Structure 1
Amino acid sequence: MSYLAGKIVLAVTAGAPNNAKGENTTTPVKQARVRNKTYPYVSAQAFRRWIRDTMTDAGAVPSPIERAGANKAQKATTAADPVRYADDDLFGYMRTGARKKDEEATTLRDSPFMTGTLMAVEPARPTEDFGVMSRGGNDPVLHSHQFYTADLAAPFVLDVARVGTFTLGRAGGKANYLSQEAALQAAAAVEAGAQLVEFRGQQALRLPIQMRRERVAVLLEAIADLVGGAKKALHYGDRTPALLALVAMTGGANPLGFVIDGAQDGSGLRVRAAALREELRAWEGNWEAPVRLGWRPGFHDAARTAFEAEAEDLMKAGTVRIDHPRTVLRGLAAEVRAGDVDHWFEDPQR
């Protein structure tokens, strides 16, 4: 197993966690039209920013932002140093600029942590809230903003084997993840002992397993303690997961997409044991037990009762384990730190 596939659900109650571009004095929330119905959403970029910020709040050192140019020609990138900064490693980057003629002009790292958009599982029409700014009897300033209540769901996949592993040179015409010169400099600089290895048919720089474990653990703990979002002064809301599913896979496929989703008739969240059972059968030999399911008490209790009844055999066999999402994520982080799942950091032998 070298991938960790997941599905996450956040419960938004009278919230405005991700705003769209405003018009005049009105601030709308981000929303999509699907089959002529409105579905609020939180962009993947915002979701990833929340995780990065939560990592920083927990003590991780963020990659510094570097800016160049002005107005429409301005650019902003991180330091593009995945050896020193965990967020550059986990979330990737693309950095362009003039270099020596014998080097690539672009340094690219695809994100090992891949996320989807947090989309409402059922249609929800945002409400427009009217407000007034007035102090000391002056002429009031009118303004408005939107908020909504919805369950938002998104898939994600973590390429565990690629965490702390940086390929060198070109692959099929694609720009380097890390330039040869920078990689060798980094290898010399990391006292912990980064090594050159063969990874997926390419030469790569790989950090020590202790560092790689820690980065995965920190990511899992950040999701467990997730904070973020706009309009918190007016619409404070808990952004920690209300529902979460995780399963280790040999490849990047995610079998959980239709296990946790919204009913096609728009009636809301579904968590289907029958769909999970069929997916596990179809991917037999490509996943590792248990399927970790985190479910907060009080969140769709009727659906949880129905799922536990339908999945009783899977739970008795240890194929599915249910606990609080924070307990699931922090417990898995502890397993990672202890080296209990070190085989996830290597591609399976075929």
Structure 2
Amino acid sequence: APVTITDDFGTMSRHDGDPVPHEHQFYRTTLKGLFSLNLGACGTFTYRRKTGFRHLDDIRIEEAKREGLTHLEREQSYRLPLDERTRRVQALLNGMARMEGGAKQTIHYTAVAPAVVVLAVTRGGNNIFPYVITEGKGEKRGLPVVNLDALQEVLDVFSDELLSPVYVGWVKGFHDDEREKLASFNTERVLVSHPLHVFEAMIRNLNEHPEWME
């Protein structure tokens, strides 16, 4: 998240005697992160005896039976009802769209919700968008740059794997020249709007396509 640069020189005293000098320095940067969510695994709890896979011990297996969770014997798992699984995923997406907080929030007053987000539902687990928005070079060094050729290649190469449109959320005021590139690409396959709106669109789509949760 972008943060204004400033310096705050002062002293800190947490003990008897002379105060300890300290410096509080802000910085401004653009952070990029990739995330993937396995919709089929959401609300599905396994009892496989494999490191990193087991969610349920014997006590919780009995609890899952009492609660009426669906038993997936072949996968050695129990699964919550579809509507509850969908609701949990929607709650996560809603939280990401409205993210706030952070250390010293009152002092810094800095937005931490994503200024840019690219969302889509795919058949595979690999993130197919890492090169659509990259770091610029020359005068654009360190700034986000949209690569429309990379986006078009993603649409062509992974056309069979894309189950949903590609939703691009981009806040106006954040590198508007790059946002305009995407806006010119706005089609039925690529929809550009505010990040909050694209998260909401994905939330609605989960209700309309329950098969995605399988």
The alignment's TM-score, normalised by the length of structure 2, stands at 0.87
1:324–1:128 distance in 2 versus 1, CA, 3 Å: same
Residues 129-278 of structure 1 aligned to structure 2 (within 5 Å)? 129-133=8-12, 141-170=20-49, 173-174=50-51, 176-179=53-56, 181-190=58-67, 193-198=68-73, 202-265=75-138, 266-278=141-153
Is the counterpart of residue 319 in structure 1 residue 189 in structure 2?
A: yes
Which one has the bigger helix percentage?
2
Equivalent position of 1:13 in the other structure: 3
- C-alpha distance in structure 2 between counterparts of 1:297 and 1:141, whole Å: 43
List, as ranges, runs of 4+ consecutive aligned residues in structure 1 with deviation greater than 4 Å.
Answer: 138-141
Equivalent position of 2:200 in the other structure: 330
- C-alpha distance in structure 1 between counterparts of 2:131 and 2:59, whole Å: 42
Alpha-carbon displacement from aligned partner over 1:205-261 (angstroms, at most 9, x marks no partner): 011011101100100010011012223233220111111110111111111111122
TM-superposed deviation, 1:174 = 3.5
Match of 1:343 among 207, 211, 214: 211
Give the aligned CA root-mean-square deviation in angstroms.
2.3
1:255–1:280 Cα contact (<8 Å) kept? no
1:185–1:131 distance in 2 versus 1, CA, 3 Å: same
- C-alpha distance in structure 1 between counterparts of 2:62 and 2:7, whole Å: 54
TM-superposed deviation, 1:282 = 1.9
TM-superposed deviation, 1:141 = 4.3
1:144–1:212 distance in 2 versus 1, CA, 3 Å: same
1:272–1:307 Cα contact (<8 Å) kept? no
1:167–1:177 Cα contact (<8 Å) kept? yes
Equivalent position of 1:85 in the other structure: none
- C-alpha distance in structure 2 between counterparts of 1:157 and 1:261, whole Å: 18
Letter matched to residue 143 of structure 1: H
Residues 104-115 of structure 1 aligned to structure 2 (within 5 Å)? none
- C-alpha distance in structure 2 between counterparts of 1:263 and 1:14, whole Å: 21
- C-alpha distance in structure 2 between counterparts of 1:320 and 1:227, whole Å: 27
1:255–1:279 Cα contact (<8 Å) kept? yes
Question: Gapped runs of 5+ residues in structure 1?
Answer: 1-10, 16-126
Letter matched to residue 13 of structure 1: V
Equivalent position of 1:52 in the other structure: none
2:122–2:164 Cα contact (<8 Å) kept? no
Aligned-partner SS, 2:58: helix
Alpha-carbon displacement from aligned partner over 1:241-299 (angstroms, at most 9, x marks no partner): 11111011111111111112212552411122211111222223111231011111111
1:221–1:329 Cα contact (<8 Å) kept? yes
- C-alpha distance in structure 1 between counterparts of 2:133 and 2:96, whole Å: 18
- C-alpha distance in structure 2 between counterparts of 1:258 and 1:175, whole Å: 30
Letter matched to residue 96 of structure 2: I
- C-alpha distance in structure 1 between counterparts of 2:53 and 2:148, whole Å: 43
- C-alpha distance in structure 1 between counterparts of 2:99 and 2:40, whole Å: 24
Question: Gapped runs of 5+ residues in structure 2?
Answer: none
- C-alpha distance in structure 1 between counterparts of 2:11 and 2:53, whole Å: 53
The alignment's TM-score, normalised by the length of structure 1, stands at 0.55
How many aligned residue pairs are there?
Answer: 209
